[in-house]
Amino acid sequence: MKKMSAKNTLIGMILIPAMFSGSVLAQIINIDRDPNVKKAEGYNVDDRGVITRNSTGLCWHTGYWTPAMAIPECEPDLAKKPEVAAAPPAPAPAPAPKKVTLSADALFDFDSARLKPGGHGIQTLNEFVTGLQNVQFDLITVVGHADRIGSDSYNHKLSHQRAEAVKAHLVSKGIDSNKIAASGKGETESITGNTCQGHGKALKDCLAPDRRVDIDVQGIK
């Protein structure tokens, strides 16, 4: 009886693993044939398509698994995370103009306080106004300057009239008149100093830098 029992036990030890292996093989074959089961490449899966794990919770790899097949749920450190495109930086707002000096010759005819229609001077004024859109400020000062040709009183009056003409143009473009202060300095703040000599056209051309209008924006917020 003991010999028979030992023989039966030996047969069982041979047949049971074989039957188990056949069962596992059948499951693998069924998984491979079932198009509805989604398999993770490089990992062992059960008949539900779920990746099998060992007793420590690690995913079982196939013999052909490579790090390139790593998935986040099994190898979070190896799996390539999807790259999130960084949002492009918002364009920096154009800086608000703080101060601009305009040649009086570009804005006015000689010995005149009437703005020339069109031309570079008016275009520059309009660009100045555009740069102040959506900008908070306290005050805009407009200061006219003249050269030394003519009397002091005449030049002071002319420079003030030119400043007022520029102010009127800025107001016509939508700037609050209460936020613009216009004044004239005449020839008191000369740029050329005593460097210009002679007379006539040569002197007038040399003194051109003195004929100007300064526009200054104060208290930009």
User: In the CATH scheme, what is the homologous superfamily, with its name and number, of domain 99-218?
Assistant: OmpA-like domain (3.30.1330.60)
8 A C-beta contact, residue 147 and residue 188: no
Listed in order, the ranges of the chain carrying CATH 3.30.1330.60 are: 99-218
List Cβ neighbours of 137 (8 Å cut-off, separation of 6 or more): 96, 179, 217, 218, 219, 220, 221
**CA-wise closest residue to 121 among 44, 8, 215, 191:** 215
Q: Which two tokens stand for residue 158?
A: 């002319």
**pLDDT at 88 (0 to 100):** 83
Residue-wise pLDDT tens digits, 51-91: 888 888 888 888 888 888 888 888 887 766 666 777 888 77
Average confidence score pLDDT of the chain: 81
Residue 147 has pLDDT above 60, yes or no: yes
In the DSSP assignment, the letter for residue 27 is: H
**CA-wise closest residue to 103 among 131, 126, 125, 128:** 125
Q: What span, in angstroms and rounded, lies between the C-alpha atoms of 37 and 49? A: 5
Pairing of the two strands 139-145 and 99-103: unpaired
Residue-wise pLDDT tens digits, 160-214: 999 999 999 999 999 999 999 999 999 999 999 999 988 899 999 999 999 999 9
Choice between 16 and 186, residue whose per-residue pLDDT is larger = 186
Confidence class for position 142, pLDDT limits 50, 70, 90: very high
- pLDDT exceeding 90 applies to what percent of the chain? 45
Q: Which two tokens stand for residue 25?
A: 């093989």
Confidence class for position 39, pLDDT limits 50, 70, 90: low
Choice between 38 and 148, residue whose per-residue pLDDT is larger = 148
**pLDDT at 73 (0 to 100):** 83
DSSP, residue by residue, 76-127: TTTSPPPPPPPPPPPPPPPPPP-EEEEEHHHHB-TT--SBPSSHHHHHHHHH
Torsion of the alpha carbons at 58, 64, 65 and 66, rounded to the nearest 10: 140
List Cβ neighbours of 42 (8 Å cut-off, separation of 6 or more): 61, 62, 64, 65, 66, 69, 70
Would the CA dihedral through 131, 133, 134, 136 be positive or negative?
positive
